């Protein structure tokens, strides 16, 4: 059995308040009913959509239930800001947040979009950053936190393999700019601020071409 580094265990434990455990009490069937408000952007099957020239909506299918519950709770509280998501999150009660998270966590993800037309050099740079990092620029690899294959590691580190490139790029830029701050110990902000725009595009493209996490 592969053990997580003690630092990641400590960070993960610190990032797990009551909502994380409440998410395990979610009812997927009730979540399917409550998630009707999510379909317009995230699709009926939770696979989201990549929009090359506009806002991309993330694939939720197969993501960890506790992670999803935290994001919805953060939208409700304002800890994570998004003008589109906040009104929809506010429609949900705490129990419905757990139900919706449980529902999406049980769906099967599809292949991400947005990196299929990237050139070889871009994909090679993206693979390096995701798998090995770039220690010359103090950029830690994605898999150091997001786990083997970047398929997720517990409640704090979601699966990012197979996620849409447009969404990954937008989130890295948000952490870079400081407009998203709800990650444990500013891990993502610290890494994103060390990345160039080309690095962000490259890692987003490569991750989108990888097999999505299995549930």
Residue 134 sits at φ, ψ, to 5 deg, of -135, 95
pLDDT at 24: 60
Question: Structure pTM?
Answer: 0.88
**195 annotated as a binding-site residue:** no
**38 annotated as a binding-site residue:** yes
For the chain, the structural domain boundaries read 6-105, 120-208
pLDDT at 215: 61
pLDDT at 9: 41
**164 annotated as a binding-site residue:** no
pLDDT at 23: 52
**41 annotated as a binding-site residue:** yes
What's the Cα-to-Cα distance from 36 to each of 2, 30, 190, rounded to whole Å? 39, 11, 36
pLDDT at 53: 87
**188 annotated as a binding-site residue:** yes
CATH of 120-208 given 1.10.10.10, 3.40.630.30, 1.10.760.10, 3.30.420.40: 1.10.760.10
pLDDT at 3: 40
- Domain at 6-105: CATH code: 1.10.760.10
pLDDT at 206: 98
Stretches in the chain below the pLDDT threshold 70: 1-24, 214-215
**128 annotated as a binding-site residue:** no
pLDDT at 169: 98
6-105 shares its CATH topology with 120-208: yes
pLDDT at 109: 96
């Amino acid at each position: 059995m592969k053990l997580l580094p003690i630092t990641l265990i400590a960070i993960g434990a610190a990032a797990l308040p009551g909502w994380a455990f409440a998410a395990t009490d979610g009812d997927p069937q009730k979540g399917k009913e409550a998630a009707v408000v999510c379909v317009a952007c995230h699709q009926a099957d939770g696979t989201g959509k990549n929009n090359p020239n506009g806002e991309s909506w993330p694939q939720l299918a197969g993501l960890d239930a506790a992670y999803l519950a935290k994001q919805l709770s953060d939208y409700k509280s304002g800890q994570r800001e998004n003008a589109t998501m906040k009104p929809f999150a506010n429609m949900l009660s705490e129990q419905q947040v757990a139900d919706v998270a449980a529902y999406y966590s049980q769906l099967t993800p599809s292949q991400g979009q947005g990196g299929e037309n990237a050139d070889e050099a871009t994909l090679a740079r993206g693979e390096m950053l995701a798998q090995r990092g770039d220690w010359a620029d103090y950029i830690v690899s994605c898999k150091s936190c997001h786990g083997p294959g970047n398929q997720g590691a517990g409640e704090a580190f979601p699966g990012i393999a197979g996620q849409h490139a447009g969404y990954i790029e937008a989130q890295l830029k948000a952490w870079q700019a400081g407009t998203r701050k709800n990650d444990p110990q500013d891990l993502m902000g610290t890494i994103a601020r060390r990345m160039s725009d080309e690095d962000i595009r490259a890692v987003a493209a490569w991750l989108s071409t990888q097999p999505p996490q299995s549930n």
